[in-house]
Homo-oligomer: A and B are copies of this chain.
Amino acid sequence: MAAKRTGEKYYAIIEAAVKVIAENGYHNSQVSRIAREAGVADGTIYLYFKNKEDLLISLFRIKMGEFTAGARHELKDLKNPFIKLARLIHLHFNRLESDRNLALVVQIQLRQSENSIRKGIAAPLKLYFNIIEEIVVEGITSGAFRQDVNHKLARQMIFGTMDEVATSWVMSTHQYSLASQIEPVYYLLARALAQDGKIEPFSI
């Protein structure tokens, strides 16, 4: 009865869901289609997930969790908040560009209206927000960023900007690379935050 949260099939279903939802959208992704893509029976999905919604939330949790853990690890040893900011943008954009399906799901399909889904993804998203805010706080504390910057607001600007750039890219026909936006986005954000306009040159 209790959903198993591990095993080979667990991940097969997650990957199948990313693919099917990316291609068809959440509301047009039948459980049976995800099951077929994963090579399991419909009922098997329910051995691993409580319901369809739980599958979507788990998917986000897994993918976001992996990303957040990786990001935290990569940023850990960087000393300068500007470089951390650059690296963050780099990680964010590269992650989405390297997996177009995941990008579609996270940027588009996940923006669902169901309150329960939004609640379910709030926690893993919060962890990512924390990483961003920590960079901001560190920047302020170290004197690299302006003292009057509100760190929550700065986080909203950083995330909102990356998010909008990524959404534009996902919805475009990909004529340009998302990676090409890393440096210009960095300069925009860095200038918004820098103390007395003194920013570090872009470096990841």
- Contacts from A to B (Cβ < 8 Å): 25-28, 108-109, 111-115, 118, 146, 148-150, 152-154, 156-157, 159-165, 168, 171, 181, 184-185, 187-189, 191-194, 196-197
15 A–B contacts, CB within 8 A, in A order: A25-B113, A27-B27, A28-B113, A108-B118, A118-B171, A149-B188, A152-B168, A153-B165, A153-B188, A157-B160, A157-B189, A160-B160, A188-B193, A191-B194, A196-B197
* One of B160, B181, B197 near A164 (C-beta < 8 A): B160
**9 A-B pairs with least C-beta separation:** A160-B164, A111-B111, A25-B113, A192-B192, A197-B197, A160-B160, A157-B161, A156-B164, A160-B161
Contacts of A191 in B (CB 8 A): 146, 191-194, 197
Contacts of A168 in B (CB 8 A): 152, 156
